[in-house]
Structure 1
Amino acid sequence: MELFPPLPLEEWNETKQTLHRFEQIVGKVRLQHSSRRNHWWNVPYHLTGRGITTRPMGMADGNPVFTVDFDFVSHLLVASNLEGDQVSFPLPGNSVASFYLRLQSALDSLGVDGSIRHAHPFDLPDSGRLFVEDHAHAVYVPEHATRFWRILSQVNLVLEEFSAGFSGKVSPVHHFWHTFDIAVTRFSPHPVPQPESAGPVVREAYSREVVSSGFWFGDDAVPEPCFYSYTAPEPEGITGRGLVPPSAEWVESGHGHLALLRYAQARKAPDPRATVLEFLESAYRAGAEPAGWDIGALACPGGVTDPYLSGR
């Protein structure tokens, strides 16, 4: 199978917009029925051999243990519980409204209270519209959804490989339903005081210094898929530090900057995987070195910290 197959945003944007909202609905179920973890690690999706999963949840909140999976091979939404009961329905042919109602019915049949707070999109242009009222987003092209998952799966493994080189606190590699990206975040032990006005999402996510690295499929600001990295808080002069390969660049984003390697550029490289890993490492060093992180002490080449194997 081709590494990093093409998926131009304009080709599949309607499916992306629908699927993003499907994911937000199930993601809000996960948010409500999972035990909270630091930096919201309980909330994102993880990859499976056929799609993405919420992982098991429930029990602590009085619900049965249950899981919700997106199957992007057979194009099904699959909900199951620990008793072995399973309910599924096709992803194609649904609007956001019908998907929401069918999910509620599926969870109810499993004995799960599937009601969610704030049953509307988070941080999307139509955030004022309830899911149950959204009949506009209803495009789901199976071919595009499958290619999305295949790319997500390939990027997942590249990020896992990158993650292995860091021995400090690091997040899982996970797919966020908020921003529709996949990311892994490295943390320093240094706390970052966040003002109350920053809001609960930011205060929890950025309570420590971080370098976050990932991939997203394009949006209105950058209408093409890209690998990215950012450092928060951003050290002074970060945009003056070099990135690898030379085609990578710094772009303004909010109050800071993103290191970007455009997907199309990575695909053209003689060794796309190695190129992405070099980019991620250069962006990590560009942020972590001026922030004072002990790069050498935090390194674990090949995922090894055993001193007898690492040669230390």
Structure 2
Amino acid sequence: MTDLKLPQLPYGSWTETRVTIHLILQIMGKTRLGLTHRKNHWWFITIYVSARGFSTFTIPLDKGLSSLEIELDVLQKAVTISHSEKGTTQIKLESGLTVAHFYKRYMGEISKLGLTPKFIPKPFDMGIDKPFEELEDYSSFDWNAIRRFWQLMQWNNSIFKEFSGRFYGKTCPVQIYWHHMDLAVTRFSGKKLPPMDKSVRISDRDTYSHEQISCGFWVGDDTIPEPMYYSYTYPSPEGLDKETLKPESAKWADSNGSPMALLSYDDVRSLPDPRQAVLDFLESSYLAGAKLSGWKVKELTTPSLKDV
């Protein structure tokens, strides 16, 4: 494993491109939200790592008789809109193409398909107040950085799927939540929690309706400006931050008053077996929360086929 060449992705090295791509992924995700029947915990709005980039995967249309797929195609440097009956169109993503211009062209193509997805046409949780159609300041496409980001998300996608397969209980798909652009997978104990107060935004009320342990990877933010793995237990049990994490460089940090397990991607890159290091982090942080929360860990562990 020492010859594994994982890509570098310093947080500050692709800021303008990162924000531009983030906005485009939000537009894709909001389109899926506006065209898809509701599924628990907002699993109907997410996007996925694909063989060519990032995709909504199939969105059923016309009572299931046709379908739509939208993909940010890293290889073609374009957003591809594919309709099962009406063909495919592409919007090339070239430097100088603003998010505003992209959005207008994109919605025009969606309209030509006879579709009118309903969603709030402005960024969510990005600290940007203008609607998409007015975002003239974002037009950067560093395709070397975008490709490294995609490669890294592909690698993590494969690890998270392996980890996900070890759990026999309710678990979400390995998916990208576009509000933070993080790849995540969540396990549930099956215990329903008391409903949150109506003053809490609806996205959180639905997300945190049941006891869960969530882990993921994101490319960093202004609070933690580097790519990072994370894991948290909700609700957080007493003493969680005293539990041992693997590998040794993993640590507990405060996140809005609750412990969050963190592991730096740069630390992972320096280890002899990066894949195993990430799996160890996911497993140790899960067991820490599951043990203290009283989960039936043995019953929730996927048995080998000989034991089925």
TM range (shorter): over 0.9
**Would you say 1:173 and 2:174 are equivalent positions?**
yes
* SS in structure 1 at match of 2:120: coil
Aligned-pair distance for 1:225?
0.2
Give the equivalent residue in structure 2 for 1:156. 157
| Letter matched to residue 104 of structure 2 | L
1:4 and 1:27 mapped to 2: Cα distance? Answer: 27
Is the CA contact (8 Å cut-off) linking 1:63 and 1:111 kept in structure 2? no
Is the CA contact (8 Å cut-off) linking 2:190 and 2:211 kept in structure 1? yes
**Would you say 1:109 and 2:116 are equivalent positions?**
no
Aligned-pair distance for 1:81?
0.7
* SS in structure 1 at match of 2:31: helix
| Letter matched to residue 25 of structure 2 | E
* SS in structure 1 at match of 2:158: helix
RMSD: 1.7
Offset from partner CA, 1:125-169 (integer Å, 9 cap, x none): 11x211111101111111111111111011000000111111010
Aligned-pair distance for 1:198?
2.0
CA separation of 1:282 and 1:49: change in aligned 2, threshold 3 A: same
Is the CA contact (8 Å cut-off) linking 1:85 and 1:110 kept in structure 2? no
Choose the corresponding residue for 2:120, options 115, 118, 121: 118
Aligned identity (percent) is 37
1:147 and 1:81 mapped to 2: Cα distance? Answer: 29
Is the CA contact (8 Å cut-off) linking 1:66 and 1:79 kept in structure 2? yes
After superposing the two structures, state which structure 1 stretch, 190-199 or 95-104, moved more.
190-199
Offset from partner CA, 1:167-193 (integer Å, 9 cap, x none): 010100001111100000000111111
**Paired residues, what number?**
304
* SS in structure 1 at match of 2:23: helix
1:5 and 1:230 mapped to 2: Cα distance? Answer: 26
Alignment of 1:9-48 (within 5 A): 9-48=11-50
Give the equivalent residue in structure 2 for 1:253. 255
CA separation of 1:200 and 1:60: change in aligned 2, threshold 3 A: farther
Alignment of 1:243-282 (within 5 A): 243-282=245-284
Aligned-pair distance for 1:65?
2.4
Q: What are structure 1's unaligned runs of at least 5 residues?
A: none
After superposing the two structures, state which structure 1 stretch, 75-84 or 178-187, moved more.
75-84
* SS in structure 2 at match of 1:83: coil
Give the equivalent residue in structure 2 for 1:183. 184
**Would you say 1:72 and 2:56 are equivalent positions?**
no
Query: TM-score w.r.t. structure 2 length?
Result: 0.94
Give the equivalent residue in structure 1 for 2:216. 214
1:62 and 1:241 mapped to 2: Cα distance? Answer: 48
Offset from partner CA, 1:167-225 (integer Å, 9 cap, x none): 01010000111110000000011111122222211111111101001100010010000
1:137 and 1:229 mapped to 2: Cα distance? Answer: 31
Query: TM-score w.r.t. structure 1 length?
Result: 0.93
CA separation of 1:79 and 1:204: change in aligned 2, threshold 3 A: same
Give the equivalent residue in structure 1 for 2:240. 238
Is the CA contact (8 Å cut-off) linking 1:31 and 1:43 kept in structure 2? yes
* SS in structure 2 at match of 1:296: coil
| Letter matched to residue 177 of structure 2 | F
**Would you say 1:192 and 2:197 are equivalent positions?**
no
Q: What are structure 2's unaligned runs of at least 5 residues?
A: none
Aligned-pair distance for 1:84?
4.9
* SS in structure 2 at match of 1:186: strand
Aligned-pair distance for 1:63?
10
Give the equivalent residue in structure 2 for 1:297. 299
